[in-house]
A and B are shown apart, each in its own frame.
Chain A
Amino acid sequence: MVAVASFVINHTGFINPKGEAIQPLPEFARDSAALVSMYRAMVLTRLFDRKAISLQRTGQLGTFASALGQEAIGVGLASAMEADDVLLPSYRDHAAQLLRGVSMTEILLYWSGDERGSDFAGPRHDFPNCIPIASQATQAAGVAYACRLRGEARVAVCMLGDGATSKGDFYEGMNLAGVWQAPLVFIISNNQWAISVPRSAQSAAPTLAQKAIAAGIEGLQADGNDVVAVRHVAQRALDKARRGGGPTLIEAISYRLGDHTTADDASRYRDAGAVQQQWLLEPILRLRNYLVSVDAWDKDREQALHKEGAALVEQAVEAFRATPAPSADAMFDHLYATLPKALWPQRAMALARGALDAEGGAHG
């Protein structure tokens, strides 16, 4: 018997939970301004996240999926991406979306139940949130293929959760990417939970990164609570893809500190003590500790950032509140490039009903 295949999964981390560098930082991270800008992006994400939850709790927003504890993944990834790369996000990836230019107002609109939230002014080529789990993985392969066919140096970036790695679409997407050697980076935000199902019940594989091996692509792990590590591995994977070196799967290890969504109550299935332990590992505190240790951050700057962030969030909420609901016939807009004649009578019915509602006549 001879071994015909073997593999190694590498794990990358630079800053430990205490905020200490455990190995020399990569080039970009030696500039503390770059780190401060990532720190700012993570804090803004968290302030926004907190506000979104409170809006939901007070009946001003629909169900919302918090990214609490996972800010480093989106921020590290988006910091490494080029503007014309194409992001295919899941529904918990607003850290990356915000940094790429989707506005807080647009994200609030989306979660309030308004399609206009996916018509963001920001990166017009980025995909809207993908709700059906892992279905964006095969699309990402198509996006990457299209970029390469046109000779564009763009990379498709597909964000997934740990639960998504159990889906066939995830394997099919990786398999396509491997066969095509497509310019594509898959990044798994492994937050240890798929609603109530823990990572241990999701797969017997010791790492999720190794699932890439079966598709013939590189798989690796990074400390998903270390924004430096995420950005570093993402940058390498993006550069490789851009150079024609093919796809990469990154498993970023993190923890979902909040509920799955505002419609969930995680205390039903997980122990509060375990969650408390995870708070010691979270990404914002550790980068703050590091920045303070290298004299790049202090209490005054922290206070100023929170003040600035609160104002930004408040402005976004005001703009969101000031956005009136679409008119009833909007549901017929953009169904097709041109509304087929067969649908005209239905659109007229919706308009008439909308007009009645506006007069308050429909419900007496």
Chain B
Amino acid sequence: MAEMNLVEAVNRALAHEMAADPDVVLLGEDVGVNGGVFRATVGLHARFGAGRVIDTPLAEAAIAGAAVGMAAMGLKPVAEIQFTGFIYPAIDQIVNHASRLRHRTRGRMSCPLVLRSPCGGGIHAPEHHSESPEAMFAHIPGLRVVMPSSPARAYGLLLAAIRDPDPVIFLEPTRLYRLFREEVKDDGAALPLDACFTLRAGADLTLISWGAMLRDTLLAADALREENVMAEVIDLATLKPMDMETILESVARTGRCVIVHEAARTAGLGAEIAANLAEQGLYCLQAPVRRVTGYDVVMPLGRLERQYLPDVRRILEAARKTLEAV
């Protein structure tokens, strides 16, 4: 076992799967010799060659479209879109092709691709480099949307995404790339998709989050423990399809729920979770479900991004209000 950060874990997962499966190819801008702008693909060009680690022209629609063509032919392309802010030219391929190729051909063809893209704020990146558009992708039928919150989960979930026979949007929080290290066993073991991870058990309150916000959510849970409040912390991990079963089971025990996400509030995934709780778990609830989210504003540039991002204080505030309600 080795300690690694999240971007190293992504690199190890890619290397493992490329060695194990000759159908896995990487493509994107600067993913080759340069090893990716975040170094997620470093060393892979030298190890696997230019035929399988492809530096593409600077065109996101082309990257996504080529990945669809490759996937339809049985390759397993892992395409990198350098930042989610630049993913929009690729949306046509994602919505109109990748997500529906299997469905529209009644299973004759399929599209086993992974689109990796760094997302989220907190690293003082330039304009268009810090957004959290996961809910847009989660709205598209036929896709899986995954966001890891730690190096170990990045490793296992990325392996699962590459092995999955359907298209996966794999969003990597830039803030976590080098924030902390943890033990990751580079053994090729995938983690399950379509399932939440319960990171802390607790009977008083359910905290649900994903991606970079898990860090602050766990810190909030620590602070609550000091007050003898035991919060259950759930990492949503696969944002679509959503594992409501685990969430409902948790809320049935705790009766209280706070959802934390970095993305804007309106029509965010917090709303989807809250709606599901209202439909299927209302009678378990002892307090209104609360959301701690980004604001419904354009993602501010670096100087204000800390003001935008939910933090431990805001999570604790919401948790306490939820705990107060009778």
B66: A residues at CB distance < 8 A: 138-139, 141-142, 145, 176
Report if A336-B166 is in contact (Cβ < 8 Å); known contacts: A142-B68, A142-B77.
yes
Report the Cα distance A139→B251, complex, angstroms. 45
* Contact present for A342 and B194 (CB under 8 Å): yes
Given A146-B75, A169-B61, A343-B241, answer yes or no on A115-B69 (Cβ-Cβ < 8 Å): no
Interface check A147, CB cutoff 8 A: yes
How many chain B residues sit at the interface, stated as a range, is 35 or more
B50 to chain A, nearest CB (A): 11
B243 in the interface (beta carbon within 8 A):
yes
Residues B73 and A175 in contact, CB atoms below 8 Å apart: no
Report yes or no: B92 in contact with A141, Cβ–Cβ below 8 A: no
User: What's the dominant secondary structure at chain A's contact region?
Assistant: helix
Judge whether B97 is part of the interface by a CB distance below 8 angstroms. yes
Interface-lining segment among B106-114, B227-235, B284-292, B306-314: B106-114
In this complex, what residue of A is CB-closest to B62?
A172
Output the nearest chain B residue to A147 by Cβ-Cβ distance: B73
Q: Which residues of B contact A120 (CB under 8 A)?
A: 108
With A172-B65, A176-B62 known as contacts, the answer to whether A143 contacts B72 (CB < 8 A) is: yes
Residues facing B in A219-259 (CB within 8 A) are none
Among A124-132, A303-311, A316-324, the stretch in contact with B: A124-132
Q: Tell me which residues across on chain A come within 8 A of B97, comparing CB atoms.
A: 132, 135, 139
Q: Is the CB of B59 within 8 A of A342?
A: no
B242 located at the interface, meaning its Cβ lies under 8 Å from any Cβ of chain A in the complex: yes
User: How far, in angstroms, from A333 to B62 measured CA to CA in the complex?
Assistant: 29
Q: Size band of the A side of the interface?
A: 35 or more
**Contact A118/B105 with A86-B73, A143-B70, A341-B241 known, Cβ cut-off 8 Å:** yes
**CB contact list, A326-357 vs B, under 8 A:** 333-337, 340-343
Alpha-carbon separation in the docked complex, A88 to B66 (Å): 13
A131 to B96, CA, bound (A): 9
Contact A337 B62 (CB under 8 A): no
Q: Which residues of B contact A82 (CB under 8 A)?
A: none
| A342 & B242 in contact (Cβ 8 Å cutoff) | yes
Chain A residues lying within 8 Å of B104, measured Cβ to Cβ, are 115, 118, 128
Chain A 139-169 against B: per-residue CB contact (8 Å), 1 yes, 0 no? 1111111110100000010000000000011
Residues B165 and A135 in contact, CB atoms below 8 Å apart? no
Are B102 and A127 closer than 8 Å at their CB atoms? Answer: no
CB under 8 Å from chain A, chain B span 71-99: 71-75, 77, 89, 92-93, 96-97
In the bound complex, what is the Cα–Cα distance between A138 and B110 (angstroms)? 17
CA distance A172 to B68 in the complex (A): 14
Of A119, A156, A172, which is in contact with the most chain B CB atoms at under 10 Å from its CB? A172
Task: Give chain A residues whose Cβ lies under 8 Å from the Cβ of B59.
Answer: 172, 175-176
Answer yes or no: B245 CB below 8 A from chain A CBs: yes
| B69: A residues at CB distance < 8 A | 88, 138-146, 156
CB atoms of B110 and A342 under 8 A apart: no
Q: Does B126 contact A (CB under 8 A)?
A: no
Set of chain B residues within 8 Å of A340, measured between Cβ atoms: 194, 241
Q: How far is the CA of A147 from the CA of B72 in the complex (A)?
A: 11
Kindly list chain B residues whose C-beta atoms are within 8 Å of the C-beta of A88: 69
In the complex, the answer to whether A119 meets B65 with C-beta atoms within 8 Å is no
Query: Once the chains are docked, how many angstroms separate the CA of A363 from the CA of B310?
Result: 49
Does B56 lie within 8 Å of A176, measured CB to CB?
A: yes
- Among the listed B57, B65, B102, which residue makes an inter-chain contact with A139, where contact means beta carbons less than 8 Å apart? B65
The reply to whether A141 and B102 contact each other, CB–CB distance below 8 Å, is no
Closest to A168 in B: B61
Q: B102, A336: Cβ atoms under 8 Å?
A: yes
A270 within 8 A of B: no
- Given A116-B106, A135-B96, A141-B65, the answer on whether A337 and B166 have CB atoms closer than 8 Å is yes
Per the bound structure, the CA–CA distance linking A228 and B29 in Å amounts to: 42
**How far does the Cβ of A229 sit from chain B's closest Cβ, in whole Å?**
28
Q: How far is B73's CA from A124's CA once the two chains are assembled, in angstroms?
A: 11
Q: Decide yes or no whether B148 CB sits under 8 A from chain A.
A: no
1/0 per position for A159-187, CB-CB distance to B under 8 A? 00000000011001101100100000000
In the complex, 15 of the A-B residue pairs with CB atoms within 8 angstroms, ordered by the A residue number, are A119-B107, A127-B109, A138-B62, A139-B72, A139-B97, A142-B68, A142-B71, A145-B69, A156-B69, A168-B89, A169-B65, A334-B103, A337-B110, A340-B241, A341-B245
List residues of chain A with CB under 8 Å of any chain B CB. Answer: 86, 88, 115-116, 118-120, 124-125, 127-128, 131-132, 135-147, 149, 156, 168-169, 172-173, 175-176, 179, 333-337, 340-343
7 closest Cβ pairs, A-B complex: A138-B65, A142-B69, A142-B66, A139-B69, A342-B241, A146-B73, A119-B106
